[in-house]
């Protein structure tokens, strides 16, 4: 055994172990007090990076959950206002049906119906203007796609979420084929002899039929008027005319290839080509053309941008009737459409680009019931006048269309709330729960394990302290040699 006093190696070793034990004990105390096993980068660099990214995701998901809940509240507020508009429209339809009861109503009753109708229209416009969520207006069209057109023959109907803002020049609307109505013109004149012999004529359309057998004292104009009366009485969409040569002509009121009707005449050529045969007439044509140079789907008078079409996906316009000019091979431009895309956008995810959009249409009376062909010339719900029989009849058509439009908006809003927002909210909550659990595994302290480490650290620290005291006493043995 050798004894040295310049360097006490045993004390140095004990001191080093004491420092290590104190450092370990302090780290354990920090983990127990914070509840985290990674408090700084040195505790686990890779774990820190991953867990901080998870924390950012968790914070984003938490906010996205709040965003979705706010969006659901907005959708519910909008739907409540639309429900009241639906109720008013139903009341208006009842008024139109009452006003159409021409045989009973007097002028005072019709005026009362009109005043009540106008009051309902004003209520719809008031709801449209006042419905809001916070400071944001909901149903005035500021949260949808606004569009207007140039050209007498062109009318903007609607557009979808995928339609884009137009430039200052707008989107060109070119017609390559004008829409036509199904029609049949007889090849045999309805002469006085045929009328006197009791010519039988019959028209069938929409499940209804109109039949008339001519009387010997009928004139040609009377035959046309009586047959037209039967057509109107049965609610059929047909117009009957007679040419100067005495040929009967029947035309469907609606444009396009879908509307059809059937004709019958006892004599060949008066209406049906064969005597006593029922023949179907379906020779109408849909409008054809392009929107902003891209192919569009034609249906009747309507042109709609094809799904996936750049910029004009879902854009729908109406060509008002047939064109007055010859259409060249390349088509003719009938006007331009200008769009402003203001659809509501919701951030429903915790990351970039995780958004959804919702289009809240303008449901004011000037925007509802547009594009319906009617003899009264009503362009929208705002023009309704039920003080005449025809006005009341046409009002029913426009109100029915308005009910369909508002119900469609409610359906879209409900589907958006249920299938997009609420479904996404459920998914966000599950994802948030799983991320929190994952981040906890990486970052949180295992308290039982750390308490075991803390107990061990205390014992080791006290032991090292005792051994350091013993090591410091070893050099004193030299004094025994010197004494």
- What is the distance between the alpha carbons of residues 97 and 211, in angstroms, rounded to a whole number? 26
Residue 337 near residue 294, CB atoms below 8 Å: no
User: Whole-angstrom Cα distance, residue 312 to residue 316?
Assistant: 9
**pLDDT recorded at residue 116:** 94
Looking at the DSSP bridge assignments, the partners of residue 289 are 175
* C-alpha triplet 298, 301, 302: angle, nearest 5°: 50
Apex 183 CA angle, 182 and 187, nearest 5? 150
> How confident is the model over 292-330, as pLDDT tens digits?
888 899 999 999 988 877 788 888 999 887 777 788 888
**Would you put residue 44 in left (φ > 0), alpha (ψ -120 to 50) or beta?**
left
Does 33 or 338 have the greater pLDDT score?
Answer: 338
Residue given tokens 């302090």 in the structure block = 26
What average pLDDT does this structure show over 45-72? 88
Q: What's the order of all strands across the beta sheet hosting 171-177?
A: 145-150, 332-341, 171-177, 288-291, 294-299, 302-305, 316-319, 154-158
The residue count for the chain:
483
Mean pLDDT lowest for which of 61-70, 141-150, 353-362?
A: 141-150
- Torsion on CA atoms 247, 253, 257, 261, rounded to nearest 10: -60
Give per-residue pLDDT as tens, 48-60. Answer: 878 888 888 889 9
The alpha helices in 186-315, defined as continuous H runs, are 192-196, 220-233
What pLDDT score does 102 carry? 84
Mean pLDDT computed over 432-457: 82
Angle among Cα 173, 179, 182 to the nearest 5 degrees reads 170
End-to-end distance of the chain based on CA atoms, in angstroms? 19
The more confidently predicted of residues 476 and 66 is 66
Per-residue pLDDT, averaged over 122-146, amounts to 88
Over residues 425-436, the mean pLDDT reads 92
Query: CA 316, CA 397: separation in Å to the nearest integer?
Result: 20
Residues contacting residue 160 through CB under 8 Å, at least 6 positions apart: 145, 305, 313, 314, 315, 359
Q: What is the pLDDT of residue 35?
A: 74
Element (DSSP H or E) covering residue 210: strand 208-213
Give percent of the chain with pLDDT exceeding 90.
48
Token pair belonging to 99: 């006003």
| Alpha-carbon 196 to chain mean position | 60
- Residue 344: per-residue pLDDT: 85
Instruction: Please indicate whether residue 122 or residue 29 has the higher confidence score (pLDDT).
Output: 122
Give the pLDDT confidence score for residue 404 in this predicted structure. Answer: 93
Most confidently predicted of 7-11, 99-103, 121-125: 121-125
Q: Is the pLDDT of residue 333 over 70?
A: yes
Q: What is the pLDDT of residue 2?
A: 61
Q: How many CB atoms lie within 10 A of CB 332?
A: 16
pLDDT given for residue 445 in this prediction: 78
| Sheet architecture: strand order including 208-213 | 208-213, 200-205, 261-265, 279-281
Smallest CA-to-CA distance from 296 within 311, 276, 280 is with: 311
Across residues 401-415, what is the average pLDDT? 92
Is a pLDDT exceeding 60 seen at residue 1? no
215-226 average pLDDT score: 92
**In the block, which residue shows the tokens 């042109």?**
303
pLDDT (mean) for 365-390: 88
Q: What is the pLDDT of residue 146?
A: 78
- Does the pLDDT at position 83 exceed 60? yes
1-15, 194-208, 416-430: segment of lowest average pLDDT: 1-15
Give me the residues paired with residue 229 across strands: none
Give the list of residues 6+ apart from residue 462 with CB closer than 8 angstroms, or none: none
Tokens of 457: 């650290």
Q: pLDDT-based confidence at 439, cuts 50/70/90?
A: confident
The more confidently predicted of residues 138 and 30 is 138
Query: Looking at residues 137-166, what average pLDDT do you find?
Result: 82
Question: How many whole angstroms separate alpha carbon 398 and alpha carbon 386?
Answer: 12
Compare 20 and 189 and report the one with higher pLDDT: 189
How would residue 3 be classed by pLDDT, with cut points 50, 70 and 90?
A: low
Q: Would you say residue 23 has pLDDT above 90?
A: no
Sign of the alpha-carbon torsion through 211, 213, 218, 221: positive
**Cβ-based neighbour number of residue 95 at 10 Å:** 21
The percentage of the chain sitting over the pLDDT mark of 70, rounded to a whole number, equals: 98
């Amino acid at each position: 055994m050798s004894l040295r006093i310049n360097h006490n190696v045993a004390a140095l070793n004990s001191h080093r172990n004491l420092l290590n034990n104190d450092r370990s004990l302090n780290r354990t105390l920090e983990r127990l007090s914070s509840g985290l096993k990674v408090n700084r980068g040195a505790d686990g660099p890779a774990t820190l990076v991953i867990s901080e990214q998870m924390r950012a995701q968790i914070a984003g998901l938490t906010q996205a959950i709040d965003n979705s809940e706010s969006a659901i509240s907005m959708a519910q507020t909008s739907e409540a206002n639309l429900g009241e508009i639906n109720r008013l429209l139903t009341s208006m339809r009842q008024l139109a049906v009452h006003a159409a009861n021409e045989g009973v109503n007097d002028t005072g009753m019709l005026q009362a119906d009109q005043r009540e109708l106008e009051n309902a229209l004003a209520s719809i416009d008031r709801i449209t203007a006042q419905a809001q969520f916070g400071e944001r207006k909901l149903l005035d069209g500021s949260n949808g796609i606004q569009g207007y057109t140039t050209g007498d023959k062109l009318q903007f109907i609607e557009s979808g979420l995928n339609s884009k803002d137009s430039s200052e020049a707008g989107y060109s609307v070119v017609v390559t084929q004008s829409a036509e109505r199904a029609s049949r013109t007889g090849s045999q004149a309805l002469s006085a002899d045929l009328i006197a012999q009791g010519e039988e004529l019959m028209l069938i359309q929409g499940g209804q039929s109109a039949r008339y057998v001519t009387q010997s004292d009928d004139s040609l104009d009377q035959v046309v008027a009586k047959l037209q009366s039967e057509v109107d009485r049965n609610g059929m969409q047909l117009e009957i005319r007679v040419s100067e040569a005495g040929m009967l002509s029947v035309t469907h009121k609606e444009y396009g290839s879908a509307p059809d009707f059937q004709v019958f005449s006892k004599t060949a050529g008066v209406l049906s080509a064969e005597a006593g045969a029922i023949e179907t007439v379906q020779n109408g044509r849909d409008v054809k053309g392009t929107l902003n140079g891209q192919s569009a789907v034609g249906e009747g008078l309507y042109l709609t941008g094809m799904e996936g079409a750049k910029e004009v996906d879902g854009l729908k316009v109406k060509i008002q009737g047939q064109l007055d000019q010859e259409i060249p091979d390349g088509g003719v431009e009938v006007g331009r459409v200008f769009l402003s895309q203001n659809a509501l956008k919701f951030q429903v995810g915790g990351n970039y680009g995780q958004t959804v959009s919702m289009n809240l249409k303008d449901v004011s009376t000037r925007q509802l019931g547009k594009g319906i062909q009617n003899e009264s010339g009503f362009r929208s719900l705002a023009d309704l006048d039920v003080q005449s029989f025809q006005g009341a009849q046409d009002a029913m058509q426009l109100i029915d269309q308005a009910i369909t439009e508002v119900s469609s908006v409610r359906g879209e809003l409900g589907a958006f709330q249920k299938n997009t927002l609420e479904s996404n909210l459920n998914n966000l909550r599950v994802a948030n729960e799983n991320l929190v659990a994952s981040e906890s595994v990486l970052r949180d302290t295992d308290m039982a394990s750390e308490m075991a480490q803390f107990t061990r650290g205390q014992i080791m620290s006290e032991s090292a302290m005792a051994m350091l005291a013993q090591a410091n006493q070893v050099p004193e043995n030299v004094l025994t040699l010197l004494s």
